């Protein structure tokens, strides 16, 4: 019966070395991982270098009533109807800005295709907005923006050619009023990208150059921009968790001697999205989008400027995707 005894005494279980041994070498591997400078990630487009901060700190605050309805006719085509009733600020020579009550209805049509996007909006005050985005090849994209108005000399149009390289992006812009611009952004390390832009305004014979840097990790994004027009813009976004991010930005304009800094939060929850900010000009704002039902969103907007004693509250509804 020796054989049965030897079978009964089960062989000792394999030492739990599998997991324990695997973990430390993995950690060492990570810290020793060399940066492959020939395989850097593609940077964000130059004009979106501050997109995280803009998403959190610049919600579309409004005053009055807003109602948006989007109806999809098929997978690619949809129509939208928007009504807005409220005040808009118009710059006036005497006392800064004055509030003008406005109301308009906007009809829009959208065609969305993986390679082609056409968006058109026409308003009852005589304005037409058109946007075209077309992927000419895998790396080259053409974008056209046009805003036509009744008033002479206020219409604008812009053509953008975007080229996306392996670890860089380049853009060339042509606009009406003889505007020409170009920008270039390059990934320098896996976390840092540097870019620069130049522009030329033909009618005013003005040119400018600007530089930008963006440093991002999983948890934070920091960007800095400086331009020869005398503008310095810094921003910092901290992603505290999946649902919460905090952002702060600083903008200095040397020509108008205007300096603004703001600190904001962005809570993205299942049923709502709440964004708020606090400004160095004594302005506090909040923007809430509450999901009432599938496709129905209720919007509340508030902006209180303590220094100028200007209080703006708005409410609205968005129906459709």
Residues near other proteins (CB under 8 A) are: 220, 234, 236, 238, 240-241, 243-244, 246, 248-250, 252, 257, 259-263, 265, 267, 269, 280
Give the residue with the Cβ less far from other proteins, 155 or 260.
260
Is the Cβ of residue 205 or residue 257 nearer to other proteins in the bound state?
A: 257
Return the residue matching tokens 């046009």: 146
Question: Nearest distance from residue 94's CB to other proteins, in Å?
Answer: 21
The helix or strand, by DSSP H or E, that contains position 84, with its residue range, turns out to be strand 77-92
Residue closest to 302 by CA, chosen among 316, 313, 289: 313
Residue burial 255-290, b: 16+ Cβ < 10 Å; e: rest:
eeeeeeebbbbbbbeeeebbbbbebeeebebbbbbe
Range list of H helices, the chain: 2-8, 17-32, 51-57
> Which residue number, 63 or 266, has a Cβ lying nearer to other proteins?
266
Give me the least distance between CB of 309 and other proteins, in Å please: 19
Smallest separation, CB 191 to other proteins (Å): 16
Cβ at position 166, least distance to other proteins in Å: 33
Q: 227 vs 247, which CB is nearer to other proteins?
A: 247
Q: How far is the CB of 55 from other proteins (least distance, A)?
A: 16
Instruction: Determine the Cα–Cα distance for residues 199 and 183; give it in Å rounded to an integer.
Output: 9
Alpha carbon separation from 44 to 113, 184, 210, 220 (Å, rounded): 22, 11, 17, 15
Is the Cβ–Cβ distance between 42 and 217 less than 8 Å? no
**Judged by CB, which is closer to other proteins: 87, or 261?**
261
């Amino acid at each position: 019966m020796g054989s049965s005894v030897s079978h009964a005494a089960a062989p000792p279980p394999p030492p739990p070395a599998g997991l324990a041994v695997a973990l430390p070498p993995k950690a060492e591997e990570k810290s020793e991982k060399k940066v492959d400078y020939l395989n850097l990630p593609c940077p964000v487009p130059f004009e979106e270098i501050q997109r995280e901060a803009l998403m959190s700190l610049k919600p579309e605050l409004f005053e009055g009533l807003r109602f948006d309805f989007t109806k999809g006719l098929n997978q690619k085509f949809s129509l939208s109807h928007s009504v807005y009733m409220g005040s808009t600020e118009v710059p006036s020579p005497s006392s800064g800005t004055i509030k003008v009550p406005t109301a308009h209805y906007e009809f829009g049509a959208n065609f969305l295709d993986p390679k082609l996007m056409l968006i058109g909006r026409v308003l009852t005050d005589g304005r037409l907005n058109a946007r075209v985005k077309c992927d000419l090849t895998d790396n080259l994209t053409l974008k056209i923006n046009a805003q036509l108005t009744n008033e002479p000399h206020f219409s604008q149009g812009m053509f953008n050619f975007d080229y996306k390289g392996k670890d860089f992006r380049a853009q060339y812009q042509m606009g009406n009023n003889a505007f020409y611009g170009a920008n270039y952004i390059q990934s320098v390390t896996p976390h840092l990208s540097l870019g620069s832009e130049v522009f030329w305004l033909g009618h005013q014979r003005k040119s400018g150059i600007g530089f930008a840097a963006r440093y991002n990790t999983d948890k934070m994004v920091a960007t800095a921009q400086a331009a020869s027009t005398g503008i310095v813009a810094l921003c910092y976004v901290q992603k505290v968790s999946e649902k919460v991010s905090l952002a702060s930005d600083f903008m200095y304009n040397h020509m108008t001697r205007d300096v603004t800094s703001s600190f904001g939060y962005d809570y993205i929850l299942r049923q709502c999205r709440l964004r708020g900010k606090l400004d160095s000009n004594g302005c506090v704002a909040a923007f809430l989008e509450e999901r009432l039902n599938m496709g129905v969103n209720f919007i509340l907007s508030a902006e209180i400027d303590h220094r100028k004693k200007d209080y703006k509250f708005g409410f609205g509804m968005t129906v459709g995707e």
